Amino acid sequence: MSKEVLIKSKKRVQKHGEVFTPSWMVEKMLDIDEIKRCCKNLTATFLEPSAGEGAFLTAILKRKLYMVSDLYSQNINQFENFSLYALSTLYGIELLDDNVQMCVMNLYQEYYESYFNVTQKFNVKLKQKVLDSAKCIIKSNIRQGNFLTKLTANEHLIVFSEWKILNKLIPNTKNIIVSRTEYTLLDIYHKKENLPGTLINKRSQLINTQQSLFDEEAHDITYEKYAYISTKITDVYKEEIERYE
């Protein structure tokens, strides 16, 4: 059995304090009663402010997908919808770009393997649109940036997407309809309620770093008038938008 690599280099430890958490410790922490219950809760959300290569998020996803395969897999369509929603509840911020890429890859690999195993059970093929939607969700939820400054390396505000279920979930629900709404990390800090479907244009993400991020006016940003269209969660990869007045 290969030994886990917990340190990439002494330089990275000195510069960024980067030390990875061993898998046994990740599992032990996730076995804390309250966290363990949340891992079995479809709608419970997790935010990892220093995600690294995604050790915690990948382990949480594994537990959530196991729960979905147990409770929401009457047919392949139901598993596809509920597994994508479980994936959409995981968020991460990571300072170092190479770690961000690995985190995205690790989450996608975990999702792919779980999805593949269920398709074997039903003797069906993987659907490309489901995989594309998984990629879209992961890339939207895992962001490069500094949790403390709330900014990316390019001094844009960190932006996340909320994936809100619009239809009522009952035991035999097959399709999940979601509304995608973007929030900056600053919006979340100030508990701001953006309009459903809000799309934050990149040109309006730049912020004067001389201005305090905690000023009341700092998060009052004007967004262009475009919004995401509500859609089936298996179709979010299309990222369809519409203009509004």
Q: How confident is the model at residue 124 (pLDDT cuts 50, 70, 90)?
A: very high
Query: d(Cα 224, Cα 204) in Å, to the nearest integer?
Result: 8
pLDDT of res. 210: 42
Q: How confident is the model at residue 215 (pLDDT cuts 50, 70, 90)?
A: low
Q: How confident is the model at residue 25 (pLDDT cuts 50, 70, 90)?
A: confident
Alpha carbons within 13 angstroms on the beta-carbon side of residue 106 total 21
Give the predicted TM-score (pTM) of the model. 0.85
Q: What is the pLDDT of residues 149-208, one digit of tens each?
A: 999 988 889 999 999 999 998 878 899 999 999 999 999 989 999 999 999 875 444 444
pLDDT of res. 98: 87
Please provide the average confidence, as pLDDT, over all residues in the chain. 86
* 42 phi, psi to nearest 5 deg: -55, -40
Query: d(Cα 45, Cα 69) in Å, to the nearest integer?
Result: 19
Buried residues in 221-234 as b, exposed as e (16+ CB within 10 A): bebeeebbeebbbb
Reduced to 3 states, what is the DSSP secondary structure of residue 172? coil
**For residue 39, is pLDDT > 70?**
yes
Residues 6+ apart with CB under 8 A from 228: 179, 180, 181, 182, 197, 198, 199, 239, 240, 241
**For residue 209, is pLDDT > 80?**
no
The four Cα atoms 115, 117, 123, 129 give a dihedral, to 10 degrees, of 20
CB 244 within 8 A of CB 225: yes
CB 223 within 8 A of CB 198: yes
Tokens read off for 158: 């960190």
Query: d(Cα 133, Cα 233) in Å, to the nearest integer?
Result: 7
